[in-house]
Amino acid sequence: MMKIKLLLSIVILFAFVACDTKEKSHLDGAQLIKQKCASCHNLDLPPKTFKDEKAPPMMAVAFHIKDFIDASNASEKIPKAIEFIKDYVINPSASKSFCDKKSLQSYGVMPSQKGKVTQDELQVIGEYMFEHYSVKNLTEAQALQNKLNKMPRGERLALKYNCLTCHKLNKDLVGPSFAKIANKYKDDSLYVQESIKEGSVGRWKNFRGARMPAFRDKIADEDIVILSEWILKQSKVP
Ligand code: HEC
Ligand code: HEC
């Protein structure tokens, strides 16, 4: 009797676990919106717009709907906005659209996605849209983009290729600081380029035999030139 009970509870436990993981992996808003909507709507935050775009960027759609949806109080706004999306995607029309007349004319009314996306999927897509496309996320994304735009290209590349997980500008980390490297090799950019391509170990004392990985096949030659020249400029800060 004990055994049967135990077995039963294990079976039930597994059934729940299986259900739970299935539901989660199946209904992931970020993934669904990419699969079902990205062929027409640009999903970037901040959005990129193109001359011949097929539809308004998704951020514009989300902001739009939140601005224009009729709701008597704030807590009803998002649920109502999601209901609007669930209806609109299946039954779109010029009269329901919140797009201004001119854009509507240039895009044409959205073709119904009936049969291509379920109401449950649209619920998850809607929840994702109003969570992801928020003023807060937009502000953060713009701040990050501004920061990246202001960085020298060399630094951006160092960030992109994870050099900065092992090197800092003025402080030793896993590898020597870029300032020390610059002081040692002065303006020998060719040497530094070769070093980055080949990697090294044991050239620097006090790094406990840590290895500099070879980047020959991972970074384009012209990017290695930019990286090297940028590193050699860091010598002014010892
Ligand atoms: C085949 C291209 C296409 C696909 C796929 C598509 N859309 Fe659209 N969508 C459009 C176009 C074009 C418009 C602009 C015209 C309009 O408002 O109907 C639009 C408008 C909308 C609007 C109304 C915007 C407003 O401001 O009123 C919503 C909501 C929307 N789309 C949601 C979605 C969602 C969610 C998906 C994915 C499930 C999706 N769309 C997939 C083309 C598409
Ligand atoms: C996993 C950690 C790690 C990463 C990632 C890393 N480095 Fe290094 N780097 C090191 C270590 C450790 C050394 C010292 C190796 C030695 O003693 O020979 C080093 C040394 C160097 C040197 C000096 C080589 C020499 O010949 O003296 C340069 C230049 C350099 N790294 C550039 C880079 C660049 C550019 C990147 C990114 C593309 C990068 N590193 C990524 C760990 C790393």
- 35-60 tens-digit pLDDT: 999 999 999 999 887 778 999 999 99
Q: How far is CA 147 from CA 139, 150, 152, 153, 170, in A?
A: 12, 5, 10, 12, 20
- Going from the Cα of 233 to the center of ligand 2, the distance in angstroms, rounded, reads 16
Query: Per CATH, which fold does 151-236 belong to?
Result: Cytochrome Bc1 Complex; Chain D, domain 2 (1.10.760)
When pLDDT is averaged across residues 182-209 and rounded to a whole number, the result is 95
Indicate if 151-236 has the same CATH topology as 26-141.
yes
- Going from the Cα of 41 to the center of ligand 1, the distance in angstroms, rounded, reads 7
Q: What angle do CA 97, 102, 104 make, to 5 degrees?
A: 35
Report whether residue 163 contacts ligand 2, using a CB cutoff of 6 Å: yes
Assign 234 a pLDDT band (cuts: 50, 70, 90): very high
Rounded-to-integer distance, Cα 159 and Cα 150, Å:
13
User: Is 26-141 a domain of CATH 1.10.760?
Assistant: yes
pLDDT of amino acid 5: 52
Instruction: Tell me the longest C-alpha to C-alpha distance in the chain.
Output: 81
The residue extents of the domains of the chain are 26-141, 151-236
Ligand 2 atom closest to 210 (CA): 12
pLDDT value at 2 more than 70: no
> Of the candidates 196, 190, 194, which has an alpha carbon nearest to the alpha carbon of residue 167?
196
* 33 contacts: CB under 8 Å, gap ≥ 6: 43, 58, 125, 128, 129
pLDDT value at 27 more than 90: no
- Going from the Cα of 137 to the center of ligand 1, the distance in angstroms, rounded, reads 22
Report whether residue 36 contacts ligand 1, using a CB cutoff of 6 Å: yes
The whole-model pTM stands at 0.69
